[in-house]
């Protein structure tokens, strides 16, 4: 009898003669896992064993990995004004952080100055407000840009923001060639998931190529693109989708640069990646190993010869979507496990989320715990002693191979559509990710997916958590004053001339847009003005809104409780002559629409009539749409802390139009401390992270019946 037969016999005895195959499970990626793996599972894998630092780099891009140099601790932060964020950065650097990673507010992401009427609720809320070179200089005051690398998560307004950074460096006395760091510059994923785009896809790809070209010539220490799967993960993508779509994005950017006549080895070594790390511990470690193998395959296909062009280097961030508002102290444990998975997978730098980020921006207290999580990993656990400690694990190697095969199949599907730009325009990646998100949410709502403290093991009460509160109105007033001073003191004619040159370059397809924007930033053109000069040529993109139908409901099957809920909705429709009508809206410049899309899908499958407003609407626009569509209730989805400004404005706009009978409910990241304020303003119900959607639907239906006196 063979060893495997001995194992099966032993397993049957332990299981009471049940077949051990009953313990097999299928992941959301479609990969079947078994309760045990052995030597035979290494046979026929697509990736050879190899060594760290050598092609195909499955085991890591450096020969000694953390034994030679630990990963970089790079915490992502930014809030309020440039001065307040600067103080936070300087304190973090003094406490052991090794690089600065900047979070910009949504007004900046969308290319609006802080005094623009469409950003009243967004200034300084979910990141730092940057309107000009003067703000950028303040942001890095006392931080030597020739010694500290800077990562900037910026895509839509990447041209004006990077231009302002370059000029701020010059005026600090640091030549652009000495600047080190990364600009995200990954616009394709914005069209799929995060939605902080500005221009349509084609001119956006020109911007990406211009930045690759400029930095290759002028900024040899700077990474020109950080190709991001993180936001796909946050939008609900499976690991295979995150892996495949991210690498397909990278492939598209390489092709765009090659189309400009660039040599692949002149720029490919400065491309980097950015992945999310979630709770599926071994799968996440295997994902990073698979990513390196696949990127090597892709770049070899482009004829790259320089090892730096062939190796995938990545930053990782622990999952935001795994953070829970209920029993939030559990998030410290979740983040620690995710951080360990990233390290075992071989990341080059890492951000660990703060435990309170499902509620608000992190406090200094929570940020210190997040940073110390990495310091403990580096200095206390021994994980830095050896490169790729999971290598040779039957299970991890098998997962790595499965991810390679599944992701390659999806990459091939994208290429069959004509590449990632064409795939994005077709809507295929966004639709696939929304389907995955709907399935996951249904599994959570059914109780099949266990979340400790949320779906099971809930505490009797939640202990209060001190949260950071940003006075959005005060920040905006300060920014508006700074803008007025800047415009008053600059040479208006010189600034206008640089903006005209930029507009001509965009319209005529001539010159490098980043180079032209650097001249404009030096002349003190603002982020909004530089964006507008390009918008005049390119236009501003508006995405089509489509609601997924059938996926969420199908996951419930013939569940009696779900069937009873649908019957309640049908009874309302029979009594009223129409189904209850929900308008799902996001207001302000927050483009994170996972929650809104899942709600629209789920409520549709329950029998509600659902209308979804386009992104980036203002309260008066949403009110007008709700009246025109005959909505019973408006569901406001919020993630970026603008709810205290925008929800009351929506209620006021409804009343001003004589439609105060339309109910307003809010869902998303809304701290408990804001609930009373919103209820006093007229919000009828608040649904935070972790809300069971069928329970929310029953509450919404009850509110509509109450309003109608039924």
The residues annotated as belonging to the active site are 76, 230-231, 586, 590, 592
Cα–Cα dist 547/612, whole Å:
8
* DSSP line for 195-218: ----S-HHHHHHHHHHHHHHHHHH
Structure tokens of 689?
Answer: 């992270």
Query: What is the strand order of the sheet 100-102 is part of?
Result: 76-77, 100-102, 150-152, 181-183, 222-223
Burial zone of 288 (CB within 10 Å; 0-12 exposed, 13-18 middle, 19+ buried): buried
Q: For residue 116, which of 619, 528, 625 has the smallest C-alpha distance?
A: 528
Burial of 230 (0-12, 13-18, 19+ CB in 10 A): buried
The H or E element that residue 594 is part of is helix 594-606
Q: Are 273 and 313 in contact (CB under 8 A)?
A: yes
CB 604 within 8 A of CB 124: no
Decide: helix, strand or coil at residue 169.
helix
Q: How far apart are CA 356 and CA 89, in angstroms?
A: 19
d(CA 112, CA 118): 8
Report the alpha-carbon distance of residue 524 to residue 498 in Å, rounded.
10
Any residues with CB less than 8 A from the CB of 612 and at least 6 apart, and which?
545, 547, 583, 584, 585, 596, 597, 600
* Pairing outcome for strands 32-33 and 25-26: antiparallel
Token pair in block for residue 297: 């395959």
Kind and range of the H or E element at 664?
strand 663-668
């Amino acid at each position: 009898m063979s060893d495997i037969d001995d194992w099966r016999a032993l397993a049957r005895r332990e299981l009471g003669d049940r077949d051990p195959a009953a313990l097999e499970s299928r992941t959301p990626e479609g990969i079947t896992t078994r309760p045990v793996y052995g030597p035979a599972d290494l046979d026929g894998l697509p990736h050879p064993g190899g060594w760290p630092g050598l092609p195909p780099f499955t085991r890591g891009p450096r020969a000694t990995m953390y034994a030679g140099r630990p990963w970089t601790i790079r915490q992502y932060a930014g809030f309020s004004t440039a001065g307040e964020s600067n103080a936070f950065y300087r304190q973090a650097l003094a406490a052991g952080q090794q690089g600065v990673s900047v979070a910009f507010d949504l007004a900046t992401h969308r290319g609006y100055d802080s005094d623009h009427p469409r950003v009243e609720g967004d200034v300084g809320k979910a990141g730092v407000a940057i309107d000009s070179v003067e703000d950028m200089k303040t942001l890095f005051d006392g931080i030597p840009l020739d010694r500290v690398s800077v990562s900037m998560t910026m895509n839509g307004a990447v041209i004006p923001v990077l231009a302002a950074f370059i000029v701020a460096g010059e005026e600090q006395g640091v030549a652009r060639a000495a600047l080190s760091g990364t600009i995200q510059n990954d616009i394709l994923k914005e069209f799929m998931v995060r939605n902080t785009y500005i221009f349509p896809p084609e001119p956006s790809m020109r911007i990406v190529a211009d930045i690759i070209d400029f930095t290759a010539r002028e900024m040899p220490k700077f990474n020109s693109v950080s190709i991001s799967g993180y936001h796909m993960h946050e939008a609900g993508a499976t690991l295979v989708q995150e892996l495949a779509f991210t690498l397909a994005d990278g492939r598209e950017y390489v092709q765009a640069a090659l189309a400009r006549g660039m040599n692949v080895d002149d720029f490919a070594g400065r491309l980097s990646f950015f992945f999310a790390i979630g709770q599926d511990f071994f799968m996440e470690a295997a994902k990073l190993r698979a990513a390196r193998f696949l990127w090597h395959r892709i770049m070899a296909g482009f004829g790259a010869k320089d090892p730096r062009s062939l190796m995938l280097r990545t930053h990782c961030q622990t999952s935001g979507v795994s953070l829970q508002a209920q029993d939030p102290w559990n998030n410290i444990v979740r983040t620690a496990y995710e951080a360990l998975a990233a390290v075992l997978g071989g990341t080059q730098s890492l951000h660990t989320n703060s435990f309170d980020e499902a509620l608000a921006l992190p406090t200094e207290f929570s940020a210190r715990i997040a940073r110390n999580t990495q310091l403990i990993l580096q200095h206390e656990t021994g994980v830095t002693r050896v490169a790729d400690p999971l290598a040779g694990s039957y299970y991890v190697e098998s997962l790595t191979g499965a991810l390679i095969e599944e992701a390659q199949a999806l990459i091939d599907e994208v290429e069959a559509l004509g590449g990632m730009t064409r795939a994005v325009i077709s809507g295929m990646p966004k639709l696939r990710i929304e389907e995955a998100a709907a399935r996951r949410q249904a599994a959570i709502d059914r109780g099949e997916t266990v979340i400790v403290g949320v779906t099971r093991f809930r505490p009797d009460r939640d202990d209060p958590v001190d949260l950071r509160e940003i006075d959005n109105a005060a920040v905006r007033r300060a920014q508006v004053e700074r803008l007025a001073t800047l415009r008053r003191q600059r040479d208006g004619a010189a600034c206008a001339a640089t903006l005209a040159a930029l507009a001509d370059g965009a319209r005529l397809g001539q010159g490098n847009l980043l180079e032209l924007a650097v001249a404009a930033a030096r002349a003190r053109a603002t982020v909004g003005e530089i964006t507008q000069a390009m918008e005049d040529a390119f236009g501003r993109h508006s995405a089509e809104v489509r609601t997924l139908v059938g996926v969420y409901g199908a996951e419930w099957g013939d569940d009696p409780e779900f069937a009873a809920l649908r019957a309640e909705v049908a009874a309302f429709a029979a009594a009223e002559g129409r189904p209850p009508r929900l308008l799902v809206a996001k207001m302000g410049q927050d483009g994170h629409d996972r929650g809104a899309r899942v709600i629209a899908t789920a409520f549709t499958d329950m029998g509600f009539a659902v209308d979804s407003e386009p992104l980036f609407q203002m309260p008066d626009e949403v009110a007008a749409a709700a009246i025109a569509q005959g909505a019973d209730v408006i569901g406001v989805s919020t993630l970026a802390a603008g709810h205290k400004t925008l929800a009351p404005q929506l209620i006021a706009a409804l009343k001003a139009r004589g439609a105060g009978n339309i109910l307003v409910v809010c869902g998303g990241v809304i701290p408990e401390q804001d609930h009373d304020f919103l209820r006093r303003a007229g919000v009828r119900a608040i649904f935070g992270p972790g809300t069971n959607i069928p329970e929310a639907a029953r509450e919404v239906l009850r509110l509509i019946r109450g309003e109608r006196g039924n």
